Structures are given as C-alpha cells and as structure tokens.
Amino acid sequence: MSKQSKRIEALVYHAKPTPGKIKVVPTKKYASQRDLSLAYSPGVAEPCLEIEKDVNNVYKYTAKGNLVAVISNGTAVLGLGNIGPEASKPVMEGKGLLFKIFADIDVFDIEVNTENVDDFIETVKNIAPTFGGINLEDIKAPEAFEIEQRLKEELDIPVMHDDQHGTAIISAAALLNALELAEKTIADVKIVVSGAGAAAISCTRLYKAFGAKSENIVMLDSKGVIRKDRDNLTSQKAEFATDRKIDTLEEAMKNADVFIGLSMADIVTPEMLKSMSAKPIVFAMANPNPEINYDLAIDTREDIIMATGRSDHPNQVNNVLGFPFIFRGALDVRATKINEEMKMAAVKALSRLAKEPVPEQVNLAYNETRLTFGRDYIIPKPFDPRLIAEVPPAVAKAAMDSGVAKEPIEDWDRYKNSLLERLGSDNKLVRQLLGRARTNPKRVVFAEADQLDVLKAAQIVYEEGVAKPILLGRKETIVELMSEIDFEADIEIIDPKSDDETERKNQYAKVYWEKRKRQGVTLYSAQKIMRERNYYAAMMVNVGDADALVTGYSRSYPTVVKPMLELIGMADHVSRIATTNVMMTQRGPMFLSDTAINIEPDAKDLARIARMTSRVARMFGIEPVTAMISYSNFGSSENPRAQKVQEAVAILHKAYPDMIVDGELQTDFALNAKMLQDIFPFSKLAGRKVNTLIFPSLDAANITYKLLKELNKSESIGPIMMGMSKPVHILQLGASVDEIVNMTAIAVIDAQEREKRQQKI
C-alpha cells in the first residue's frame, strides 16, 4: 500500500461512519418513565445528598472511580511538536480507546486551550472532582514537569504524565531485558539519550534508579550534547549534563552500548550505529517515525537489539503497555497517587512477563509461530491478555504496601478473575480468527471481485497475509477498481464470460457434465453454465484450482446456495447443511443456529445442527456449552413443537453423553446461569455459561440474530455454512468489507482444518 493510500485509509478510518473514535454509553436502564425518574429527577437527588454527607460516596454512586481524564494542551503531540489542542484530539481519543480496550477504563479526553502553566493547572484542578485519575498527555517540557508535580501535590487522585512515566516504565522493562540478552550490566553501560524533554528526562531518571551511572550518560537536545559548561540549562537538563567535551550525536555514539531516542525522526545514521559497541541496544522511540528506520538499523548491524515505538515491527516500546494497566491497578485500590514503588512494580511485572512462555492466542494475534524471549521479543505485546492479570495486581499491591491505597484488595484470586472478565472477547475472537488464517493462508476465489467492497476485502486479506485471493468478474472493471484503491498485487483475475478462459471453462464443463449428465445436463448447457461466475468458482474449488470460495455479496442467499449444492454437495455422512452465526455479545461470543437454511428442522435435524455447531465453535477455540431453545422449559409444555426439542436433546444425550447440551429451555433461563442453577439444578448446563443456542426453527433463529444485530448493534460473523463437502462460504447480501474479511478468514481456516483431517487419514 502506498504512503498516499495509507494516509487516506487513516483519514477515512477517523471520519467514517461517525467522526472520531469514542462515544458515551449509558450503563443503567432508561426504558421507562420509572427508570428515568431514578436516573434523573427526582431519584437522582438521593445519591446527591449521600455524597454531600460523605464525599467518598461519589465512588459508590457515580462513574468517577473508573473514569480517567486524558488531558493535553497539544504542545508536544507525539513527535509532531506543538500542533495545538484541537489537532491533538485524535491522539487523545486514541488513548481513550486504548484505555478502554486494554483495561476497561472509561475516558473523557480533554483538550485545554492554554500554554500557561498556572491556567492549565487551574483547569485540571477545577475539573478533577469528575475523575478517578488524571492522565496528562503530550505536554512539552519543561512545563510538563511543573504541571505534573503541582497537580500531584494538590490533588488526592492519581495523576500521571504518561509520556514521562508510562514511557519510563516500559522502556526500563525493555532495557533490563535487552541488557540481560546482551550480557551487560546497567551500571556499566554507556547510554546516549537523544531528547531532553518530558519522556527522555523521566526515562533516564528511572534508569538511574535501576543502577545506571550519571558518568556513563550523555544526553542531547535540539542544540546538541548537554554539557555542564552550557548556559541557561533548565534544572532537569542540568541533572544530566556531561563533563565530556563533545558536542554532537555522532561523537556521543562512539562506543556507546545503549541509544535511547525520544526526540525526532531520522537523526541517527548507519555510520553512527556502526560506531557503537558490540551488541548495541537501540530504542528509537520517536513517534510516528523513529530516530532510525527499523529495517535500516537491522540491515546495518547484525548484533543489534532494536526497538521502536511503532506496532509494525518487533519490540514495540510504547507507553500503551503501561498507562492502561497502571491506572487499572491504581483505580482498583483507590490509590491517592502513582508513586515510585508502583512504577517499579510495573517495570518488574512487565520485564518478568516477557520471559514467560507466550500463550498461543498471542502468537496468533501477531502472526507469529513462536514468540520467545530473545532479540525480537524483549517486551510483551499489547494484545497479550496476561497483561491485565499481571500488571494491575502488581501496581495495586505496591500501592497498598506503600500506604497510598484507600481501598485495599483482600481477595487476590477474585481480583484477578474480575480483571480477566473486564477484557471484552469480541475483537479478540476476530483477531484470533485472522491470526489463525495467517498461519497457513489458502487460495480463496472471490466470485464477485468486480464489486468494490468484495475487492477491498480481497485487498485486506491479501495485504494482511490472511488469504491468497483469486478474483472472478469483469476483468476491466476489476483492474480499474484495483488501481483506484491502490491494490497492487500479482494475482489471478478470471472473467468466466471471456473467451480467453475457454480451455479451462471447457474442462470444468466436462467435469460438471459428467456429474450431472443423467439429470438433464448436456455438454452444451454445461459449457453455457460455466460462464456463470458462481458455477465457475465452485468448479475451481471442486477440481482443486482454489482451496475455498467466498460469494453471495450481490445475490440472495437461496440463489447462491442452489448452485453450491448442485456442484459441491454435502459432506459424507451429512444429510443436511445448516448455518450458524457468531454474535459478539456483551457476555462474549454466542453461536446461533440455524440462521439461514432449515425452515422447520425435525428432532434429528436439530441434533445434527447442534453437533455441527459444536464443531464450528471449536474451530473458533471455544468449548461449546449448548442450550436447545424452545418456548418451554424441561417438559413444561406438551405441544409437539416443544416435544421435538426434547427429542433432539434425548438423541444427543444418548449418542454423545460427553456433549454439554441440555433443554428444552427458554432463552432467559439458558442465558441466566443463576436462574438455571436455582430452578433446574439437575440440568447439564447448571453452573455453566451457555455460548451456543440451537433454535427450533429458522424463523426463531433468523429473527433472533437479526434483532440482536440491529437493536443491540452486536457484530455478527456468518451465516457460516456447515456440512458442505468443500469450504464454500456464502455472504449476506450487501455484506460489509469487515464481514467479507471475517468470512474469508473462516473459509481459510475451514480449508486448513480439512487439510489437517485429510493428512491424518
């Protein structure tokens, strides 16, 4: 993808479908007049009065305890400099998004229009009652130091300047690990720090706290080396001024062991790297572009341990690994500040975690086969789910031990579990899906590649290494659209209607004719039908010219299913095909079946659908817990419609005693573990979290999934085809680009699974 299209992609991402990246969502019921009278006047007066009596009650009755302000004046935005409060807003919203997805902390981003230190402090102090914590962001030095210092003294909630301490914590953890790999000790290494701003000063202070020696440190600002004999140094710069009579970065880098970049892009040259000592450690952390390009650095020195602040290279040393988890721990014990002990604890937790075996889901999320502690993995990855279970408890414990925790934690196991529960699993599931597909991308034929959304999805899966697309459709249109969306790839484009394709088309027609010549198909009609894209595409999969097929974007479901059944057919031992939808709900992913094919399944069909759905759930890495849904609970109705579901359950219990399935059950009982446990304790589902619902009819399943999708805005993957003899997957009419991408990943994984089964035979 060119620089220009990346730029456009970033702008469209921020602009569409709604401008910006975050919104406010109510957490209480507001459906009825009664709800509103509680949410607002008159009911709201009660908590107001309770808080007036005791201000600590604000944590009990409002969102304060989980609400952090991300505050900036836009004077040092990433490495973009002083671009002003409005221009800093995308970054602040971005921090809000990261707080939410990694630590379930809510954020109001606040951009303050002043560069005056007193005014800024006054503003923050005046709005502080709203928040449980204050995250200062992208405020330039030296003002940042005074602002943070005074706010810490004057407020009784945690205040942290992320660029100072978030960065210091992460980079210190990475540095300790890198030194271990390079077999060097912190007290002996010569360190060059480029930058003398908020981030650089605080990072260097923390390295000193871990043993780095002042005499081994050279710091540079925009004017060059900070020497003791320089005039007008700020007190922070003076702290790191050197006795050495050198002026330039080039001189400083000679024989240095460590380079810390918190300044500007592209100021380090290959020659400078070559002049460093053996096994140099280079953290080029300026954003968005580092002090030296990652690939250039790696090409220059074989023995380098290299990190940047970016997510597109190994070793992302970025404060995103810190602020969500540090604030989580601080908020959870209602710490009055974030002190040195808490920072040290976070460093140790992060450094330790990098040395532990990496869970498979992290490998999958990052398209890695085996991440292990080493040169390319010195610090955990942001999507590592262990971060939330490890770092906040370490921070919380340090807060308690150092006496700044107002609400100490008593039950640590319970606390850790509550932390894990905070992590939504929706995006995680999609990430895992894409990660798994990437481990062995397959050839996927897109039958409607001349449709812009399909082509865009093909571009994404191609560029992300999820699949190897084969594009079907009008060649001219595809080529034109590809150039429009900057899709440069050497991939097969086939127009089944074109005469260029005649040889392969004739070959496919022959295979098709052989298969159906006794069902009224002539060779001539077979040749004619192969001009139809879905038949052609299905034939590609049939003869092995493609591994999987994704189609259906522009046609109704039944019109596409028919040719697929004719050409591809059902898998052996399968007497029915069916579909399932994965809904990303607040309680995690839910599988709903059958959402698209079987209008009135009988008991045996329902049992089969439940079995097939279990297999799909496992494909997603989820152990199925299945409820067979009805309007009746365990025989409460004698109507044949309820009895049909009971019969299906009996079939499953007899044939698959290990399967965790039960019913018939009403949906609320199936989804409410407590109700189920209290009223039907004998059920196989009692005490478990149901994640799979098998509905008694197509009506019920389809209506439910569409209701959830529209009313609850639950994301959905599917309908996923089950029971076909080849990986054929059909899109919903007008599916979005994301839905097509997800479906492609499923098609790839489906092909991978079949390949594995084949290899076993």
Ligand X SMILES: NC(=O)C1=CN([C@@H]2O[C@H](COP(=O)(O)OP(=O)(O)OC[C@H]3O[C@@H](n4cnc5c(N)ncnc54)[C@H](OP(=O)(O)O)[C@@H]3O)[C@@H](O)[C@H]2O)C=CC1
Cα angle 32, 35, 40 (rounded to 5 degrees) comes to 125
**Helix H or strand E encompassing 282:** strand 281-284
287 touches ligand PYR (CB under 6 A)? yes
Sequence length of the chain is 761
User: How many other C-beta atoms lie within 10 A of the C-beta of residue 290?
Assistant: 28
280-319 residues near ligand X, rule: CB under 6 A = 285-287, 309, 317-319
- For residues 689 and 590, the answer to whether their CB atoms sit within 8 Å is no
């009055």: which residue's tokens?
A: 336
- For residues 687 and 672, the answer to whether their CB atoms sit within 8 Å is no
Verify whether residue 3 is a known catalytic residue: no
Q: Using CB under 6 A, pick the residue from 220, 347, 671, 694 that binds ligand X.
A: 220
Q: What are phi and psi of 346, to 5 degrees?
A: -65, -40
Exposed, middle or buried, 227 (CB in 10 Å: 0-12/13-18/19+)? middle
77-96 residues near ligand X, rule: CB under 6 A = 78-79
Q: Using CB under 6 A, pick the residue from 93, 163, 368, 715 that binds ligand X.
A: 163
Rounded CA-CA distance 431/268 in Å is 35
Q: Using CB under 6 A, pick the residue from 309, 382, 473, 552 that binds ligand PYR.
A: 309
- The contacts of residue 10 (CB under 8 Å, 6+ apart) are none
Q: Using CB under 6 A, pick the residue from 112, 134, 186, 198 that binds ligand X.
A: 198
Q: For residues 327 and 446, which CB has a smaller minimum distance to ligand X in the complex?
A: 327
How big is the site for ligand PYR, counted in residues (CB under 6 A)?
Answer: 8
- In 3D space, the residue among 691, 657, 663, 658 whose CA is nearest the CA of residue 603 turns out to be 663
**Helix, strand or coil for residue 258?**
strand
Q: For residues 138 and 647, which CB has a smaller minimum distance to ligand PYR in the complex?
A: 138
Q: Using CB under 6 A, pick the residue from 51, 63, 78, 209 that binds ligand PYR.
A: 78
148 touches ligand PYR (CB under 6 A)? no
Catalytic residue (choose from 6, 29, 30, 40): 40
Numbers of helices and strands, H then E, in the chain: 31, 21
138 touches Mg ion (CB under 5 A)? yes
40-69 residues near Mg ion, rule: CB under 5 A = none
Rg of the chain, C-alpha, whole Å: 30
Rounded CA-CA distance 448/453 in Å is 9
222 touches ligand X (CB under 6 A)? yes
Q: Using CB under 6 A, pick the residue from 264, 389, 489, 660 that binds ligand X.
A: 264
**Residue closest to ligand PYR, measured at CB:** 287
Q: Using CB under 6 A, pick the residue from 105, 128, 192, 262 that binds ligand X.
A: 262
Cα angle 360, 362, 364 (rounded to 5 degrees) comes to 70
Q: Using CB under 5 A, pick the residue from 106, 163, 221, 257 that binds Mg ion.
A: 163
**What minimum distance in Å lies between the beta carbon of 759 and ligand X?**
44
Angstrom CA distances, 208 to 176, 257, 319, 468, 712, stand at 12, 15, 19, 50, 51
Exposed, middle or buried, 201 (CB in 10 Å: 0-12/13-18/19+)? buried
Q: For residues 147 and 467, which CB has a smaller minimum distance to Mg ion in the complex?
A: 147
Verify whether residue 294 is a known catalytic residue: no
Q: For residues 323 and 446, which CB has a smaller minimum distance to ligand PYR in the complex?
A: 323
580 touches ligand X (CB under 6 A)? no
Q: For residues 138 and 332, which CB has a smaller minimum distance to Mg ion in the complex?
A: 138
Which span sits near ligand X by CB under 6 A: 114-122, 189-197, 368-376, 468-476?
A: 189-197
637-666 residues near ligand X, rule: CB under 6 A = none
Instruction: Say how many CA atoms lie within 13 Å of 532 toward its Cβ.
Output: 17
At 70, the amino acid letter reads: V
Q: Using CB under 6 A, pick the residue from 236, 318, 339, 585 that binds ligand PYR.
A: 318
Q: For residues 78 and 673, which CB has a smaller minimum distance to ligand X in the complex?
A: 78
163 touches ligand PYR (CB under 6 A)? yes
- Contacts with ligand PYR by CB under 6 A lie at 78, 138, 162-163, 287, 309, 318-319
- Contacts with ligand X by CB under 6 A lie at 76, 78-79, 140-141, 163, 167, 194-200, 220-223, 262-264, 267, 285-287, 309, 317-319
- Contacts with Mg ion by CB under 5 A lie at 138, 163
Catalytic residue positions, numbered = 40, 95
